[in-house]
Amino acid sequence: MSEIFSIKSISEFHELLGLPLPEHPLISLIHDEMLMNHDNIRDELFNVKYTSELYYIVFKDKVRGSFGYGRSTYDFQEGTLIFSSPRQVLTSPSKEMENGVNGWALLFHPDLIRESSLGEKMDNYTFFSYDVNEALHLSPKEEKFILELVLKIKEEYSQNIDQHSQTLIVSNIELLLNYCVRFYDRQFYTRTNINKNFVSDFESALIAYFNSSKLEEEGLPSTNYFGHKLNMSTNYLSDMLKKETGKSIKEHIDGFMVEKAKLFLLNSDKKISEIAYDFGFEYPQSFTRIFKNKTGMSPVEYRKSK
């Protein structure tokens, strides 16, 4: 099994790349010119798996040729943003690939935002756990705008640190992420026909699961089941469904389960607990809670009302 590198700090990342010490211990902007065509990076650091304690926002400019996106392939020339959060397992690109594109990487340690409001809502930025083939593709105008924000962050952390530095750095990171949310929404919208194909595939997979023996053998499907089934990250699929249908994966599963449960309630004499166990619930109260949330009635009330 090949070695997996572990990167714990900004300083360690700089050291691995043969760069000078970072200007700030918790954040750094690394652009292509700093790497000098990558000749100062050890060969064993290319095309290897690694984990990191850092957040990454990586921009690659004009990746040439085709690019996988979900299960489809697209030709594009716009710049691409890729996001990664701490403890994800990543694979570094080959040396040949890296020498073929330009770009930059903004890295920051969770300690930078830990005591801020941004730290409390980082989980809301679900694109940090999208797969690489679900990257954000920027138009030239968006690309310029994002670069200006990134350079503003660098300008702030490069100055003499004062009592305002932390707040300004973090607020600009949050602004950057909020614009990425907007641009992802634009990407969902402009690729709506492709998204609708995935929605159709998801609905078919959902129906197939509920009509198979899997329901009885394994209980309700997990959200991850459908991500694997459709060959995309669970968060991306859920966000895409939310944009197209107004419901997340979990909401679709619960809704489908409730519709099935209604049939059992009206066409069988099974106890509520038996129906709950058939759906894989360990505790019938959990089934009742979801059913009431969806219908406004408990299973018992629904059965009596019909």
CATH of residue 13:
2.60.120
Q: Which residues pair with 104 in a beta bridge?
A: 31, 59
CA atoms within 13 A on the CB side of 280: 14
The confidence score (pLDDT) of residue 60 equals 86
Residue 105 and residue 241 in one domain: no
Cα separation of 139 and 122, whole Å?
25
Domain boundary residue among 190, 205, 234? 190
Give the list of residues 6+ apart from residue 119 with CB closer than 8 angstroms, or none: 110, 113
Task: Specify whether 175 is located in the same domain as 236.
Answer: no
Nearest to 252, CA basis, from 281, 214, 209:
209
**Domain identity same for 21 and 152:** yes
CB half-sphere exposure, 229, CA atoms < 13 A = 19
pLDDT of amino acid 125: 96
Cα 288 to Cα 300: distance, rounded to the nearest angstrom: 9
Specify whether 153 is located in the same domain as 184: yes
Tell me: do 34 and 162 sit in the same domain.
Answer: yes
Where does a domain end: 159, 190, 221? 190
Whole-structure pTM value: 0.77
| C-alpha atoms less than 13 angstroms from C-alpha of 55 in its C-beta half-sphere | 22
Model pLDDT, residue 64: 47
Helix (H, G, I), strand (E, B) or coil at 214: helix
Residues 257 and 122 in one domain: no
| 164 and 207 assigned to the same domain | no
Question: Are 107 and 38 contained in the same domain?
Answer: yes
Q: Do 236 and 168 belong to one domain?
A: no
Instruction: Please report, for residues 26, 213, 224, 280, the alpha-carbon distance to residue 266 in angstroms, rounded to integers and kept in the order given.
Output: 60, 22, 31, 20
- 166 and 217 part of one domain: no
Q: Which two tokens stand for residue 96?
A: 């040949």
Q: Dihedral, CA atoms, 241, 242, 248, 254, nearest 10 degrees?
A: -90
Question: Radius of gyration over alpha carbons of the chain, in Å?
Answer: 24
Q: Taking the C-alpha atoms of 256, 257, 262 and 263 in order, what is their torsion angle to the nearest 10 degrees?
A: 90
Domain end: 134, 162, 190, which one? 190
Give me the residues of the chain with pLDDT under 50, please. 1, 36-37, 64-76, 97
Q: What is the pLDDT of residue 167?
A: 93
Contacts with 256 (C-beta within 8 Å, 6 or more apart), sequence order = 206, 207, 210
What CA–CA distances, in Å, run from 167 to 28, 157, 161, 219, 233?
16, 11, 11, 47, 32
Q: Which residue has the tokens 């059992």?
A: 264
Same domain for 96 and 160, yes or no, is yes
Residues 144 and 203 in one domain: no
Count Cα neighbours of 17 within 13 Å in the Cβ-side half-sphere: 24
CATH of the domain at 244: 1.10.10.60
Residue 241: per-residue pLDDT: 92
Domain span at residue 290 reads 194-305
Token reading at 179: 């614009």
Give the three-class secondary structure for 148.
helix
Q: What is the count of structural domains for the chain?
A: 2
CA dist., res. 131 & res. 128, Å (int):
9
